Structure 1
């Protein structure tokens, strides 16, 4: 894979954000072949701004195909950005589709589940269901307590069942 040179980067980003499908699709292909985690913010900005379905689909597929741990960590770092609220479900979906273990980011996922929409809760549950273990038992215990406390005071009944399912899933990771 040929990395995108520093001199070509501005041109690739400009094309990515152009909303011209031909230019954007070429830029997406270049990023797919030679990009790195530093492109995540630009990719998410382009996804948020585009009005073209073809561009949206191509960027979504790029995110769903991520296998680089650093790039997926960048996704997690960006989902709390208010500019990306409209695409947070897609970001969460990309996290679980990557297959990369993000169990060390459990507090971030719990925050999304307790503050998010029903679909965001569903994506968080899906991510957690695909984990094999959670190594930090103290974090696991604290986040389970946090979710139970949330349930006891919840005013979002549409999310409560999903949060309860997340708690059940987390309890499977407790080491006796």
Structure 2
């Protein structure tokens, strides 16, 4: 796969963020063929800022289809970036739709679940449910304790049931 040259990078990003559907869709095609993890923040900015549903759908689908581990890692890195809080549900959905193992990023996902909306909690639950196992048992234990502490002090009853479900799934991994 040929990467996007430094000279062409700015043009691709400009087209992606243009809010012109034809230009943005061409940029998305270029990113699918030659993009890498370094484009994730720009892709998320374009997703956040677009007012065109066609662009939003195309960017979302591109994120859902990511198979590059580095790109998905960068997507997880951006979950706690306040600039992207408005699109975190889409970002989380992409994390599970990629099918890549992100169990080593459990602390990041627990942070999102304990600070996020009901829908963000639901997406975190879906991500965790789709894992085969969690190898780092110490991390699993620590994050389970963190969520239990969150539940004991929670002032967001709308999220508590979802958080409790996340704890249940995590406890099943501890028993494996």
Cα displacement string for residues 43-87 of structure 1 (whole angstroms, at most 9, x for unaligned residues): 000001100111000000000000110000000001111110110
Classify the secondary structure of the residue corresponding to 2:173. Answer: coil
2:150 corresponds to 1:150 = yes
RMSD (Å) for aligned C-alpha atoms: 0.9
2:33 corresponds to 1:27 = no
Structure 2 match to 1:79: 79
Classify the secondary structure of the residue corresponding to 1:87. Answer: helix
2:134 corresponds to 1:129 = no
TM-score (norm 1): 0.98
Matched residues, number? 176
Structure 2 match to 1:95: 95
Structure in which a larger fraction of residues adopt helix: 2
Classify the secondary structure of the residue corresponding to 2:42. Answer: helix
Structure 2 match to 1:57: 57
Cα displacement string for residues 2-41 of structure 1 (whole angstroms, at most 9, x for unaligned residues): 2211111111011001111110010001001111111101
**Structure 1 stretches (4+) deviating beyond 4 angstroms?**
none
Cα displacement string for residues 63-114 of structure 1 (whole angstroms, at most 9, x for unaligned residues): 0000110000000001111110110000000000011100001111110001
Q: Distance in 2 between matches of 1:4 and 1:36?
A: 9
Unaligned runs of 5+ in 2: none
Q: Distance in 2 between matches of 1:43 and 1:32?
A: 11
Report the Cα offset of residue 175 of structure 1: 4.5
TM-score (norm 2): 0.98
Classify the secondary structure of the residue corresponding to 2:19. Answer: coil
Unaligned runs of 5+ in 1: none
Classify the secondary structure of the residue corresponding to 1:39. Answer: helix
Q: Distance in 1 between matches of 2:14 and 2:122?
A: 34
2:66 corresponds to 1:66 = yes
